[in-house]
Amino acid sequence: MDLVKLSRGRLPVIGRGEIDVTVKTSLERWRAFAPDWELVLGHKRGEISHAEYTHAYREALELSAANGELPVQELHAQGIEACSSLILCCYCKMIDWCHTHVLISWLCEKYPALFEDGRP
């Protein structure tokens, strides 16, 4: 099976190979990959550290994957259609720590036959 290279970008989505993975504005099918509002707002308010956020977000992804709630095959197919690459987008500045880094690492670890890390 072809690997899809994953990288991160900033909203707004401007191309077919870009996907919004935020709880605020993502399309419903991609929202499963977004952290929930409690996590996002807790981090923005400084109540949750990067490490706590990462741990909680990875746990949420694992639970969603175990329950069959993540459209992983659809994400892979979307990447194949977009020349074997996808850019996962959010509102964070490119220099900032971001949930998309956690998501890319998690997808590549959990589904190594489908995804590879395309970040520079």
pLDDT tens across 34-46, in order? 999 999 999 999 9
The dihedral sign for the CA sequence 18, 23, 29, 32: positive
Band of the pLDDT at 95, cuts 50, 70, 90? Answer: confident
How confident is the model over 26-54, as a mean pLDDT?
95
pLDDT recorded at residue 16: 84
pLDDT recorded at residue 93: 87
Return the H-helix or E-strand segment holding 44.
Answer: helix 37-44
CA-to-CA distance for 61 and 44, rounded, in angstroms?
Answer: 20
pTM assigned to the model: 0.95
